[in-house]
A and B are shown apart, each in its own frame.
Chain A
Amino acid sequence: MIKNICFSLLKNLWMTIDYFFKKKKKSVPIQNEIYFQNEQRISTLQYPKKTMEVPPRGRYQLHNDIDNCIVCDKCVKICPVNCITIEAIPSPTLIGKTKDGKAKRIYPATFDIDMAKCCFCGLCTTVCPTHCLTMTSRYAYSTSNIHNHHFSFAKMKPESIQEKKKIWNDHQKKKQEEKKKQTTITIF
């Protein structure tokens, strides 16, 4: 038994000294074909200087392309952790069209995503009808202040928000008056 123990210990020591003296090659990312070849490579990464290669369909930070957003509110409804908040202002007229030809009828006053709450499930991106809400490959955005994880995507200025609200309110009033007129007409 002692012979066995000594032999295994010496084998172990031989292996480590072999590692110690061999020249180590530079590390390669896992996508590389030679990654799984049994070669002596440095197994760590000098993180802030070099970063790991992210897969092409990496699902990290959320991004909203606000110009293509039709503010349908589907992402808010499906989000399991309620990290998306939307304030919508409907418009009486057509605003414009998205890239894939869908009509935009609502202004996004606020479109906030709290990435501190986000659980990276990706449900919001699947329900998005215009594919404007996407997950990007950016993952290193940790900060010392948690409010920096609160990303706002809406570009509207407060004055224009007020203006659009006023327009919508006026439109509503006009509609109601028209409705009243219509009802009176039908009665009489």
Chain B
Amino acid sequence: MSTLLFYLPFLGFFSLSSVFFERKIAAFIQRRIGPNTTGYQGIGQTTADFFKLLQKSWILPHQINGYLFYLLPYLLFILTFSAFAVLPVHSNWFGNHVWGVLYIFFVLAMEIVLIVLIGWISQNQYALLASFRTAAQMISYEIPFSLCILIVIYFAGTVDLQIISLQQSAWSSPKIYLLGLSATKITVNHIGGFLLFHVMQCPILLLVYGIFFITSLAICKRAPFDFPESESELVGGYHVEYTGWNFALLMFVEYSYLLLMSMLGVVLFWGSWYTPLPNIGPYLFAQWTSGTQGTFSAAFWGIFWLIYKTMFVVFIKMWIRWSLPRMRYDQLMLLCWKKLFPWTLLLFLGVLFWQI
């Protein structure tokens, strides 16, 4: 239910606003003004673009199975959207799935199949090549990505994202020690704030999050790993043949992936819906900014912190997109297999030793 009631409207709002903010961020970084004619400071630009895309004609290329051609974007969107079902919204509202992260693995694996199908059904060599490129990139990057999540699953002892979130809050039932070291015998449950996050419970997870972040950039198909599209060099990626509304759907999927990956990182590493402000002496920031569990205040603060943290990660991803140049394809594969993969395994060992 949380998916339909909360995430669907939020996703629509997010993909419209994030395209606008991405253009604005790019403009400010490159000393431009950005869209500024539609509405105040161009705020209605993406909405106008969206309605323009709705009016565009649907061009069906020669010798194509139209049913499948028009069905696949919807399938891809439904699949991606269903991944939000396992994400928590706040401390009392969640998808309640025992599969949790495993379902996100499934979605990622299925997405590759659908992308290859889209490239294949388009009857276009370039689309086919781009879909293979995407598949190769995503399959390779899913290995360090999955390993990173596996480390967190091992650390938390569960795959349910709501329980993982609870364990990073002041309401977690097992006592949380400072930096996860039980030898210090300092519990931080009453202090709250960022000290309870997974990255603070075990600082090695900070490095794991670094790898998670890089791989999630590659899985979102964003710069510096945007080979599927290579915006400045190629005409387009696996969706060359799509026009109008179908193209809008595919772009929608890309931005929902951006949201999904940012949110997953926040839930797994950065305390999900829990406040980052700690209690300092008489100032009970953590209690003030997290509310009492089960009431409206907790719901409000939960949604606020989850979205706030996610938007911060999204901003960093946009910032990186407009700062770093695209890598070469062999460098991409080298980074994945020779650097990230062994490092994740090493970090797994590190987390194991930290727990001892």
A54 CB-CB contact with B under 8 Å: no
Q: A16-B319, A20-B25, A20-B319 given as contacts; is B324 within 8 A of A9 (CB)?
A: yes
Q: Which residues from chain B contact A40 at a C-beta distance below 8 Å? A: 31
> Given A13-B323, A16-B29, A41-B31, 8 more contacts at CB 8 Å?
A12-B324, A16-B322, A17-B319, A19-B31, A20-B25, A24-B28, A42-B31, A44-B33
B56 CB-CB contact with A under 8 Å: no
Nearest B residue to A2 by beta-carbon distance? B339
Q: Which residues from chain A contact B31 at a C-beta distance below 8 Å? A: 19, 24, 40-44
The minimal Cβ–Cβ distance linking A143 to chain B, given in whole angstroms, is: 22
User: What 0/1 readout, one digit per residue, does chain A (12-56) give for beta carbons within 8 Å of chain B?
Assistant: 110111011000100000000000000011111010000000000
B60 CB-CB contact with A under 8 Å: no
Considering the chains assembled together, what is the distance between the CA atoms of A20 and B36 in angstroms?
Answer: 17
Contact of A20 among B29, B33, B320, B324 (CB under 8 A): B29
Q: Which residues from chain A contact B36 at a C-beta distance below 8 Å? A: 46
Question: Is the pair A43, B32 in contact by a Cβ cutoff of 8 Å?
Answer: yes
The minimal Cβ–Cβ distance linking B333 to chain A, given in whole angstroms, is: 17
Q: How many A-B residue pairs have CB under 8 A?
A: 37
22 contacts between A and B (CB under 8 A): A12-B324, A13-B320, A13-B323, A13-B324, A15-B323, A16-B319, A16-B323, A17-B29, A19-B28, A19-B31, A20-B25, A20-B319, A24-B28, A24-B31, A41-B31, A42-B32, A42-B33, A43-B30, A43-B32, A44-B31, A44-B33, A46-B33
Question: Is the pair B32, A20 in contact by a Cβ cutoff of 8 Å?
Answer: no
- Using a CB–CB distance below 8 Å, which chain B residues touch chain A? 25, 28-33, 36, 319-320, 322-324
Considering the chains assembled together, what is the distance between the CA atoms of A40 and B31 in angstroms?
Answer: 8
The minimal Cβ–Cβ distance linking B344 to chain A, given in whole angstroms, is: 15
Q: Which residues from chain B contact A19 at a C-beta distance below 8 Å? A: 28-31
Q: Which residues from chain B contact A13 at a C-beta distance below 8 Å? A: 319-320, 323-324
The minimal Cβ–Cβ distance linking A47 to chain B, given in whole angstroms, is: 12
Considering the chains assembled together, what is the distance between the CA atoms of A20 and B28 in angstroms?
Answer: 5
Considering the chains assembled together, what is the distance between the CA atoms of A46 and B35 in angstroms?
Answer: 11
Q: Which residues from chain A contact B322 at a C-beta distance below 8 Å? A: 16
Q: Which residues from chain B contact A41 at a C-beta distance below 8 Å? A: 31
Closest 9 CB pairs of A and B: A16-B323, A43-B31, A16-B29, A44-B32, A20-B28, A13-B323, A20-B29, A19-B29, A12-B323
